Structure 1
């Protein structure tokens, strides 16, 4: 029988091998942390939307694992969208640190807004999953450049707790599990999370620091006035009662698909829901004229 972690690693490696390599840049934000972001152009020969899609991944993974290996990037570029994926601090190619004071979704939202500003485009469509969904919500409450918003892998916990549902997996339990010297003593759920983080090369001390700093405060969901889609897997314990979240965001739509927290993002239904929502007719802000450059020709630092 194939080891589940080995199978997961092989699936990620196969997805990355099939994906188009991105152009990667880094941006040094206000506290000196280097934030990496990855860019893909829309496929040639299709009608192109001048507004890029910005993707924010969930806890322990990164842009390439969450979005490229699982086909979301390819689905968006095939639909005529340029894509930017941001590696949250402590994840992927962004700077690592074991200090919990350097983490939290509100801090990550500031990083995300800095990347959006560096793109030098008048508008973006924003997609976030799990931890990235909290980051996206916090960003959308303040960032006027957000034209449309998609959040997945979260539910009533956002309204009732202010973030990812820690009633399912307490943050201190997760942090201790990530740093445990003898992971074989862990429960199957946390052992699986730690094992997957290890096989994809994630930095465990950085993940533990984020686990101790998860957002628990109020999010002003009523301030989000852009078209919003909430996506949740029907077997996702971290996104229970997603209608509670959708009802708290003015005019938000809800889409429930088959899958749990880990499998939903690899689902064709997940990708098609995002593409359909982001390509529907709607108002597009006037773009700055006088330049023939792509919206993503800005190279960052």
Structure 2
């Protein structure tokens, strides 16, 4: 584990080289209430990329894992978190790489792509779909913050919120930092802006992922998007699943669409 001061805050990260020369570099962005160890190492992604000769970079996003823990929502927001990811690439001397985000990490990944499209060779978005563009239900932001800050989790009424709270408790995360992170103000991701991204984009989610919606619907926004639905997976079971790994590697190998191969690096 390494640590760097990026944009004035402490960010923990891993930089894992493959045994031989790196064929490519990938940046991994975990989901809400997770961290780089739980989201990527324990689920087998580090070893999978290592076997493929890929240099792997993963950071704990603000409020998560071993990175900065603030209880002030003003210290979060997608723009801040995306700036940390770009600052990490600068810190490590990485000019261009692949980027793979899951759940909350997909929003960070899309913001990175919008802010610095020339830095991304291939963009992979997991655990997300057409519901990205649905209006947020009234009170949903406050409900997540309240679920994270609740003294007694048995009082949380929504099963999905209970799942996130249980996950956060299992990881030993700072619940008040997560509450602040969930309450942060971020601009909406707009279809027109995302439609300007020229790199190949993979959108993949489990068939039973109630949070994501249809991957094809989001993939259609990108000029060179590809949507994939994983059978038998939900939001939480997809990330460690072999089907997701196979889909990501097929995408990187240019095997999902005949339009992609000549544009992979």
Q: What is the TM-score of this pair, normalised by structure 2?
A: 0.90
The CA RMSD measured in Å over matched residues stands at: 1.9
Distance 1:96 1:117, change over 3 A: same
Q: For 2:69, what is the secondary structure of its paired residue?
A: coil
Query: Structure 1 residue 25 and structure 2 residue 25: aligned?
Result: no
CA distance in 2, matches of 1:98, 1:231: 32
Gaps of 5+ in 2: 255-260
Distance 1:235 1:284, change over 3 A: closer
Match of 1:293 in 2: none
Q: Which moved more, 1:229-238 or 1:239-248?
A: 239-248
Alpha-carbon shift at residue 223 of structure 1 (Å): 2.1
CA distance in 1, matches of 2:194, 2:3: 30
Match of 1:148 in 2: 122
Contact 1:159 1:244 in 2 (8 A): no
Contact 2:89 2:95 in 1 (8 A): no
Distance 1:284 1:196, change over 3 A: closer
Query: Structure 1 residue 76 and structure 2 residue 20: aligned?
Result: no
Alignment of 1:82-161 (within 5 A): 82-143=55-116, 144-161=118-135
Contact 2:132 2:212 in 1 (8 A): no
CA distance in 1, matches of 2:78, 2:94: 23
Match of 1:211 in 2: 182
CA distance in 2, matches of 1:218, 1:190: 23
CA distance in 1, matches of 2:185, 2:28: 19
Q: For 2:12, what is the secondary structure of its paired residue?
A: strand
Alignment of 1:279-290 (within 5 A): 279-280=253-254, 281-283=261-263
Q: For 2:195, what is the secondary structure of its paired residue?
A: helix
Match of 1:66 in 2: 39
Alpha-carbon shift at residue 57 of structure 1 (Å): 0.3
CA distance in 1, matches of 2:100, 2:160: 26
Q: For 1:94, what is the secondary structure of its paired residue?
A: coil
Q: Can you list the C-alpha shifts for 1:275-298, whole angstroms capped at 9, x where unaligned?
A: 22223354567xxxxxxxxxxxxx
Count of aligned positions: 254
Match of 2:228 in 1: 255
Q: Can you list the C-alpha shifts for 1:149-204, whole angstroms capped at 9, x where unaligned?
A: 1001111232344xxxx449912111101111222111233223212211111110
Q: Which moved more, 1:170-179 or 1:152-161?
A: 152-161
Q: What is the TM-score of this pair, normalised by structure 1?
A: 0.79
Query: Structure 1 residue 53 and structure 2 residue 29: aligned?
Result: no
Distance 1:27 1:217, change over 3 A: same
Match of 2:14 in 1: 38
Match of 1:275 in 2: 249
Q: Can you list the C-alpha shifts for 1:189-237, whole angstroms capped at 9, x where unaligned?
A: 3223212211111110010011112635234101211111111110011
Gaps of 5+ in 1: 1-23, 286-301
Distance 1:126 1:222, change over 3 A: same
Contact 1:171 1:214 in 2 (8 A): no
CA distance in 1, matches of 2:41, 2:48: 10
Q: Which has the larger radius of gyration?
A: 1
Distance 1:146 1:169, change over 3 A: farther
Alpha-carbon shift at residue 125 of structure 1 (Å): 0.5
